[in-house]
Amino acid sequence: MPTFPALVGTLAQTLSGHSAHVVDIAEPAPGFLDIEFRASPPAGGWRPGHEIQIMVTSTQARRYTAYRATRHDRLCILVALDADGPGTAWIRRLGRGEDVTLVAAKHRPLRLPPAPRLILGDGSALGTIDAYARGVPSSTVALEAAPSSVAALRERWPQYQFLPAHPEPGSAIQAWLEEAVADGRLDGIHGALLLGHAGSLQRQRRMLVGHGLLDRRAVTTKPYWATGRAGL
Ligand SMILES: Cc1cc2nc3c(=O)[nH]c(=O)nc-3n(C[C@H](O)[C@H](O)[C@H](O)COP(=O)(O)OP(=O)(O)OC[C@H]3O[C@@H](n4cnc5c(N)ncnc54)[C@H](O)[C@@H]3O)c2cc1C
């Protein structure tokens, strides 16, 4: 529900809102913020991969994902600052020590495709990817991100392949994918998790299924944003 009447927003915050305190804000790479909250947990507690919504105005919410949930009352999100909407503006204004409300329900993990798996995404999906791929060495992970952030991201997450993004979303990953399919690097994969820019995921899935590398059911997609569209 990216946009809704103000009354619905108030109701969502009342029924599923969790008071949160901003413990820390760090910049792991240019254009990325790592925000740690101390927050009252939903049923079942906070989990890596937990989806949250933030009411960024009285009528608009934006979604983010916990990449770490270190304790029962701690969660961290990784935000890519590439968008220019109210969500990113809200995140940029956020300060250490502020009290906010996070809207969340009980954690429902993503349906993961069979392993070994290929995981593709962009900066918006880095937190989710880290939540699901950390500690799974058989995954092949490739992400595209703004060229200015790539060196710092590679240093922080050396286990993932970071590609400098081209102006057209998804095209750096697409070029990498075409090369990887052609040289047989992906022959052993049994599934794929595709996250991030909506149009790019569809192209990636067409490529993986079209080349007979994977059955359509072995590909999980989850769009996080779409060109020209506010919220998802
Ligand atoms: C389930 C879910 C989980 C998510 N988790 C995360 C997360 O953990 N970290 C994170 O950074 N993002 C995450 N996102 C993506 C994030 O919610 C969107 O990027 C969001 O739309 C940004 O809000 P905004 O108000 O700044 O921009 P919007 O008002 O939504 O959009 C404004 C403009 O920016 C463009 N835009 C939106 N997002 C991006 C982007 N990422 N890159 C380039 N252009 C963009 C839109 O096409 C539009 O033209 C998640 C999305 C979903 C659906």
Q: Are residues 214 and 130 in the same domain?
A: yes
Q: Are residues 155 and 89 in the same domain?
A: no
Number of structural domains found in the chain: 2
| Closest CA to ligand 1's atom 38 | 83
Q: Are residues 30 and 127 in the same domain?
A: no
- pLDDT above 70 (res 1): no
DSSP assignment of 169-215, as one string? Answer: TTHHHHHHHHHHHHTTTTTT--EEEEEEEHHHHHHHHHHHHHTTSS-
- pLDDT by residue (tens digit) across 125-137? 999 999 999 878 7
Domain that holds residue 199: 117-225
Residue 176 lies in a domain: yes
CATH code, domain with 75: 2.40.30.10
Residue 231 lies in a domain: no
Please indicate whether residue 16, judged by its CB atom, sits closer than 6 Å to ligand 1. Answer: no
CA distances from 186 to 88, 115, 119, 161 (A): 35, 12, 11, 14
Please indicate whether residue 230, judged by its CB atom, sits closer than 6 Å to ligand 1. Answer: yes
- pLDDT above 80 (res 7): no
Please indicate whether residue 51, judged by its CB atom, sits closer than 6 Å to ligand 1. Answer: yes
Q: Are residues 99 and 132 in the same domain?
A: no
- pLDDT by residue (tens digit) across 44-67? 999 999 999 998 988 889 999 999
Q: Are residues 94 and 164 in the same domain?
A: no
Distance CA 116, CA 139 (A): 6
Per-residue 3-state assignment (H helix, E strand, C coil) for 34-101: EEEEEECCCCCCCCCCCEEEEEEECCEEEEEEEEEEEECCEEEEEEECCCCCHHHHHHHHCCCCCEEE
Please indicate whether residue 227, judged by its CB atom, sits closer than 6 Å to ligand 1. Answer: yes
